[in-house]
Amino acid sequence: MHILETRDLSHSYGEGIHALCGVNFIAPRASTIAVLGPNGAGKSTLFKHFNGLLFPTSGEVLYRGEAVSRATVREVRKQVGIVFQNPDDQIFSPTVREDVAFGPVNLGLDAETIEHRVSGALDLLGIEHLADRPPHHLSGGEKKRVAIAGVIAMEPQVLVLDEPSSGLDPQGVDTLTAFLRTLPRRFGMTIIFSTHHVDLVPELADYIYVLDRGAVIGKGTVEELFLRNDLLQRARLREPPMMRLVRILRENGVDITTGYAQEEIEDAIVNLLRERTC
Ligand SMILES: Nc1ncnc2c1ncn2[C@@H]1O[C@H](COP(=O)(O)OP(=O)(O)O)[C@@H](O)[C@H]1O
Ligand SMILES: [Mg+2]
């Protein structure tokens, strides 16, 4: 049984606005799944079904094999946390600490557990120093981290992030990537994220779905998807430069064995060059 799944999920916002059309999506436990696609493809609409912010027009969403419905949504929201694209949609308390505590307080946890969860989340995101600040005066990247800490403090099984790298500076993206990478291994957490930032995908994703006009137009591993030019064109994506380098080396007869995360490719190239010069 998969932790999260959609079956023939369709969603219409009204007459003629068919945002999702028959989406079949699977997230195995402790996997990291990327959802890619152009603006308006339906990524955010899909994500809002994962914890019952929206319900299907037809089809279903299953959490651990059980349909997400009005009857189960309260329980599902404890397990599936969403970080919205714009942190201002998510942050509203007078201080960062209170904001991060909002979820745990709503879960009805005792004061000691709340304190423990909040300090743990602030620590994980490296924002203890912001704890007493009003969130509204923070930078975009800091607000993003506060929003993520708020969801992490609920200790969800599934962390859904809608365009988590938007608004971050390059170092902020690297820090976030390194952080997200640890979660499946440390906590068995499942991560689902959308992004236009293709370089992030080989660093994080085990599996990718590509959406266009509400339908899944491609799915597969990083290697399977980024080597398909037709698909990249349709989804208005481009091949990550490091993957392009590996592809071109191979097309020119260089036998290079590597995964597709940047560090793996760097190591493979260094090893290859060392072997040749010895
Ligand atoms: N609240 C809404 N009311 C009506 N149409 C909407 C609403 N939200 C999104 N849409 C439409 O649904 C489609 C998918 O949007 P969205 O899920 O936001 O795509 P993405 O996140 O991939 O950019 C778009 O055509 C968008 O205009
Ligand atoms: Mg969106």
User: What CATH homologous superfamily does 4-238 map to?
Assistant: P-loop containing nucleotide triphosphate hydrolases (3.40.50.300)
From the CA of 35, the nearest ligand is 1
Residue of 45, 46, 195, 212 with the most ligand 1 atoms within 8 Å of its CB, for mutation:
45
User: Domain residue spans in the chain?
Assistant: 4-238, 240-278
pLDDT of amino acid 60: 98
pLDDT of amino acid 275: 84
Nearest CA to ligand 1 atom 11: 19
pLDDT at 167 over 90: no
Residue 14: band (very low, low, confident or very high) from pLDDT cuts 50, 70, 90? confident
Residue 229: band (very low, low, confident or very high) from pLDDT cuts 50, 70, 90? confident
In this prediction, residues 40-54 reach a mean pLDDT of 97
Q: What is the pLDDT of residues 29-39, one digit of tens each?
A: 999 999 999 99
Q: What would the DSSP string read from start to end of the chain? A: --SEEEEEEEEEEETTEEEEEEEEEEE-TT-EEEEE--TTSSHHHHHHHHTTSS--SEEEEEETTEE--TTTHHHHHHHEEEE-SSGGGT--SSSHHHHHHHHHHHTT--HHHHHHHHHHHHHHTT-GGGTTS-GGGS-HHHHHHHHHHHHHTT--SEEEEESTTTT--HHHHHHHHHHHHHHHHHH--EEEEE-S-TTHHHHH-SEEEEEETTEEEEEE-HHHHHT-HHHHHHTT----HHHHHHHHHHHTT------SSHHHHHHHHHHHHHHHH-
Q: What is the pLDDT of residues 75-134, one digit of tens each?
A: 999 999 999 999 998 898 999 999 999 999 998 999 999 999 999 999 999 999 999 999
Residue of 10, 15, 17 with the most ligand 1 atoms within 8 Å of its CB, for mutation:
17
Query: What share of the chain in percent tops pLDDT 90?
Result: 78
Q: How far, in Å, is the centroid of ligand 1 from the Cα of 45?
A: 6
Mean pLDDT taken over the chain: 94
